[in-house]
Amino acid sequence: MSENSVDPSGNTEAFRAFQSAPAEPAPTTTSKTPLIVTGVAVAVVLIAVIVWLAA
């Protein structure tokens, strides 16, 4: 007949293996420079259009 009790050392061993496993590397972040350059270019164009319409 099989024994119904669970061996707690198996769970502890699995937890220790999980805890000591190296963490996954963080995803690489993309540079925000293209976004900033695009924003500045759009702002310059909008200002130029506003000045042209006001003249």
DSSP 10-42: HHHHHHHHHHHSPPPPPPPPPPSHHHHHHHHHH
- 40-51 per-position pLDDT tens digit: 999 999 999 999
What confidence score (pLDDT) does residue 54 get?
A: 92
Q: In this predicted model, which residue has the larger pLDDT, 15 or 33?
A: 33
Distance CA 23, CA 10 (A): 22
- 52 has pLDDT over 90: yes
The first and second tokens of residue 26, run together, are: 């963080």
**pTM here?**
0.47
- 5 has pLDDT over 70: no
